[in-house]
Amino acid sequence: MKDKMKDAVSSLSVDYLDIRLEERRETRISYKGKSLEEIGENENFGGVVRVMDNGSWGIVSFSDMSQMEKSLFLAVREAKVRKKGETRMAKIPAVNDIVPANLKIDPRDIPLEEKAELILDYNEKIMDHPFNPSSSIYYKDVAVKKYYMNSEGAYIEQERVDCGMTAGAIARKDGNVQTAHESFGGTYGYEAVLNSDPIMEELKEKAVSLLDAEPARGGKFDCVLDNRLTGTFIHEAFGHMSEADHMDDNEKLQELMVLGKTWGCDELTVCDDGTIPGHSGTNKYDDEGTPCRKTYLITGGKLTDRLHSRETAGKLGESATGNARAVSGEFEPIVRMTNTYIEARDFTLEEMIRDIEKGYYVKGSRGGMTNLDMFTFSAAEAYRVEKGEILEKVRDLTLTGNVFETMKSIDAIGNDLKIFGKGGRGGCGKGGQFPLPVGLGGPHIRMRNIIVGGR
């Protein structure tokens, strides 16, 4: 493979080119209720060539090695027929490296029948309740070997194995339908999905308990967010804004994302770290051969960095951060998060709750939407808090606001950092590329006077 790529790279006279090849093997098992929806294994191959000449790009993808030379020719032609561009790429070292997967239990060594038996058992546990039960469960493991070479002398072979699942429980009573979902996984091996019976039991109990919960009351309240919702908030509401390719021709975002601008209290630090062993967003190198690193996006409440590809870093005169990622071998890399989280500080959950006169303890996320600096998230579950005590569970609670103002409302940051992977159907979507494995998380945090949607 290396010799073929080397011959192709050396045969062309352009300012820059790179080739990324990807061998991929997947296993998928899914249930919807009692019905087995999908089970099987497949293998595929994908490749992308990128040529930059006179400041303009030519990018062509292909699905067979025999198409590589033709794809290079087409990419060169595309780059040369464009008008002169303005692409500038940040410099990085030309690395030569081979990176094996670091696994405890390799899911490729587990028979499909054994995986199917495990997922069936989990599905039955989720549906073991009397309230007209149903379920959704999706298991996936993906083994990827990537080959990367560029005209600057870099050559990297990198292997990665993701394993995880998405599970959901459904309960119904008197026309009231309630659900609970969880997504988990990582790059450390098949054990990511083993011994998950407590998760299935908890999902079932959450869905059933929501049947009798009253809707949340809307208004402005103090709220404590759990680790997972903290991660969802920082990923969706802030993390995407820190991806530097969003700043092109977006004057409002350029005004918001000025380095040095105050975004929160002195204790607030937000990181994107692609180096944490075993997590979903972790790689040694990104898809441009840039070493992944820990990037401090907010430090001491001030904006200190953003996430870059080589191109966005060159355009802004900053350093590449190792965040050029593609969802598969058929896509070009774009700027994406890795593992994004708020760093821990000193508060305990009890201390945060104790100082709330009237508010909510909010856990998990059912999803949400962002529109630049505005966000709305639906909580998976929530509890009413009054005079420092956690009281009854409520449902249908949403959090809405301006991310800039909401970040400034954080006045307590917990000491219990957790980072979660997204497995199964979980992942991050951007630019038509989904699901990209990412990690997200944080400690518990407290926000003051937040807009809560409900009854």
| Residue range 399-428, pLDDT digits in tens | 999 999 999 999 999 999 999 998 888 899
Please state the rounded mean pLDDT for residues 320-330. Answer: 96
**Quick check: helix, strand or coil at residue 413?**
strand
Are residues 282 and 178 part of one domain? no
Closest-CA residue to 49 (of 170, 147, 144)? 147
Q: Please provide residue 364's backbone torsions phi and psi, each rounded to the nearest 5 degrees.
A: 70, 175
Answer whether 0.85 is exceeded by the pTM: yes
Q: DSSP letter at 416?
A: -
Residues 311 and 355 in one domain: yes
> How many domains, in total, are found in the chain?
2
Per-residue pLDDT reduced to its tens digit, 204-252: 999 999 999 999 999 999 999 999 999 999 999 999 999 999 988 888 8
**Same structural domain, 158 and 274:** no
Considering the domain architecture, whether residues 268 and 194 belong to the same structural domain is answered as: no
What SS3 class is residue 109? helix
pLDDT of residue 454: 73
* Tokens found for residue 131: 């309230």
251, 360: one domain:
yes
Q: Is 98 found in the same domain as 34?
A: yes
Residue 82 — very low, low, confident or very high, per pLDDT cuts 50/70/90? Answer: confident
Do 123 and 51 share a structural domain?
A: yes
Whole domain around residue 300: which residue ranges?
215-453
Beta strand extents in 63-175 (DSSP E only): 96-99, 134-150, 155-173
Give Cα 237 to chain centroid, integer Å: 13
For residues 243 and 347, state if they share a domain.
yes
Asked whether residue 236 falls in the same domain as residue 196, the answer is no
Q: Which residues of 31-45 are buried (b: 16+ CB within 10 A; e: fewer)?
A: bbeeeeeebeeeeee
Picking from 161, 182, 212, the residue at the C-terminal end of a domain is: 212
Domain boundary among 186, 212, 238: 212
Q: Rounded distance, CA 45 to CA 66, Å?
A: 12
**Pairwise CA distance, residues 260 & 257, whole Å:** 9
- Rounded percentage of the chain residues whose pLDDT exceeds 90: 89
Specify whether 251 is located in the same domain as 354.
yes
Torsion sign across C-alpha atoms 276, 233, 414, 168: negative
Per the prediction, the chain carries an average pLDDT of 95
Pairing of strands 398-402, 176-186: unpaired
Is residue 118 located within the same domain as residue 150? yes
What are the φ and ψ backbone dihedral angles of 49, each rounded to 5 degrees? -115, 140
Q: Left (φ > 0), alpha (ψ -120 to 50) or beta: where does 130 sit?
A: alpha
Q: What is the CATH number of the domain that holds 120?
A: 3.30.2290.10
Question: Of 157, 189, 212, which marks where a domain is finished?
Answer: 212
Kindly state whether residues 300 and 434 are assigned to the same domain: yes
- Please report the pLDDT score of residue 87 as a whole number: 87
pLDDT at 367: 81
Q: In this model, does residue 3 exceed pLDDT 90?
A: no
Q: What is the pLDDT of residues 177-215, one digit of tens each?
A: 999 999 999 999 999 999 999 999 999 999 999 999 999
